Amino acid sequence: MRPIYEVAAGAGIDEEHLELYGRYKAKLNPSLLHERKDRPDGRLVLVTAVNPTPAGEGKTLTTIGLAQALCALGTNTVAALREPSLGPCFGMKGGATGGGRAQIVPAEDINLHFTGDLHAISSAHNLLSALTDNHIYHGNALELDPKRIVWKRAVDMNDRGLRSIVTGLGAGNGLPQESGFLITSASEVMAVLCLSEDAADLKERLGRMIVGYNTAGEAVTAADLNAVEGMAILLKDAIKPNLVQTLDGTPVIVHGGPFANIAHGCSSVIGTKTALKLGDVVVTEAGFGAELGAEKFFDIKCRQAGLAPDAAVLVVTAKALKYNGGAPVKELGAENPEALTAGLGNLRRHLRNLKMFGVPVLVAVNHFAADRESEIALILDACRELGVPAELSDVWADGAAGGEALARTLLRLLDEQPGAYAPLYDAALPLRGKIETIATRLYGGEGVSYAPGASKALAEFERLGFGHLPVCMAKTPYSFSDRPSLLGAPEGFTVGVSRVSLSAGAGFVVVETGSTMTMPGLPKVPAAERMQLEADGTIEGLM
């Protein structure tokens, strides 16, 4: 690794704008964005994917490798990525810093505590929880209805035992009431941090967050509880984007980490706008399949931040298409052209959907060593028939060299097909109209059904004046529907909305579908256990 001040200097960042966290990590001072405010923005490229297998399809890997390849071709490039959560790191997926020769480093630091951003977000979230309970305990001057407290607690770990809890048990410990925990990546504080333009905007958004409702049915906010300054001071460093590097020394801004299946799935606005003032091309990613992360990138992040993306890269793998074509997970490594052909419908629908947002699309076929050439050829032939450019990506094995063809085609696409970005729906649509537009036009469903509580809450949000907000769909990442077993490109299904909640500070309405959980659980054999089973002096090697 190069010292981070050398990486910064290569990106045109003077050392005065760096706040060093050791030799290989730094935070970027807001003075940098202010200094660069008049520089024209670079071109913004989103990396997204088809519906994945449980192991993921390599979006982050492709983002990193593509940025490396663009730099190797002489294009001034910066990548903008999300921060990993400890939940997946010790749960299903393990780390989130790429792999092979397309990695961001120092990987162990980034995957673990990094610069403390997620801990700061957890602390700010839980400060508001504590202040809410304390206000009720000391007389409840705001007349908060204990049965209508909507603000839970947060922790950055997968822990299903904390989904539903009772607080205040025991003499002198407050009022016993039902509550629960979210994973920090689903916290509204995370969304607020990621969508804020600056410290002043952060405070304003924190103040708008709703903790519950009073006995008259009026919203009670963090500002009402005088919580804003305390929360903001906990976030004073977390709001500053983090600078790291790829294995090739390409600059990468890593900032914010909302999940895409239960939150809005994009790295921070501040980080992205800083990258756009540094690079001629900025490569960013949004979580899970394009119907989740990409939709929220276009309809929430770009709409709120005034961003106009120039292109999208859709990552596909032979394994994902075979999975969407009905092949069992344990057999995805076996040759199965029939399942792959059946799964091409998933690719076609994602390509159709991305074009709805007015951006040109390039397909990146993420190559695995065990892939059959015949299956790769099927994917490339399908893209040619659809008139969509596609390139094989070998960045895991070969780094920048393995992404050179992808990078050249992207640059040609950016020059020849200017983007005409537009959101999927008009902000003036009522909340139900927005939900149903996504469910029918994007997912391919027939309609939407609402649980009674969800229906009542939507009407209440409209009454309170929040009908203009976009919606953030919380849904399984494995299907266009709300059922993870309904793979491929299903049609005729109904999306079931189980619950809705208002994130007034973030500026959207969260719509939970099916059995989506805002606190994930660990799998049968978590990554944390696998670390023990595979231990070979790992900790000693890191110390």
pLDDT tens profile 214-234: 999 999 999 999 999 999 999
Q: Where are the domains of the chain?
A: 31-88+250-416, 118-234, 431-513
Mean pLDDT within 251-268: 95
Would you state the structure tokens that stand for residue 485, as one six-digit string?
Answer: 């077993």
**E-strand stretches of 184-221:** 210-214, 219-221
Inter-CA distances, 338 with 7, 194, 480, Å: 47, 42, 21
pTM of the full structure: 0.95
* Ordered DSSP codes for 446-481: SEEEE-HHHHHHHHHHHHTT-TTS-EEEE--TT-SS
Residue appearing with tokens 């939709």: 295
Place 91 in a pLDDT band, splitting at 50, 70 and 90.
confident
- Residue 543 above 90 pLDDT? no
The answer for residues whose C-beta is within 8 angstroms of residue 38's C-beta and 6 or more apart is none
How many helices (H) and strands (E) the chain has is answered by: 21, 23
Place 536 in a pLDDT band, splitting at 50, 70 and 90.
low
Residue 106: cis peptide before it, omega within 30 degrees of 0: yes
- Residue 533 above 80 pLDDT? no
Q: What is the CATH number of domain 31-88+250-416?
A: 3.40.50.300
- Residue 512 above 70 pLDDT? yes
pLDDT in tens, 132-144: 999 999 999 999 9
H helices of 357-477, where? Answer: 373-386, 395-398, 404-416, 431-437, 452-463
**Has domain 431-513 been given CATH number 3.30.70.100?**
no
- Residue 23 above 90 pLDDT? yes
Distance CA 209, CA 223 (A): 8
Tell me whether domains 118-234 and 431-513 share a fold.
no
- Residue 509 above 70 pLDDT? yes
Classified as helix, coil or strand, 157 is coil
Distance CA 502, CA 251 (A): 36
Classified as helix, coil or strand, 262 is coil
Neighbours of 265 (CB within 10 A): 29
Classified as helix, coil or strand, 207 is helix
Inter-CA distances, 297 with 3, 302, 331, 522, 538, Å: 32, 6, 33, 27, 37
pLDDT at 318: 97
Architecture of domain 118-234 in this structure: 2-Layer Sandwich (3.30)
- Residue 303 above 80 pLDDT? yes
Place 461 in a pLDDT band, splitting at 50, 70 and 90.
very high
Distance CA 62, CA 419 (A): 21
Most distant CA atoms of the chain, gap in Å: 71
pLDDT at 528: 85
pLDDT at 233: 98
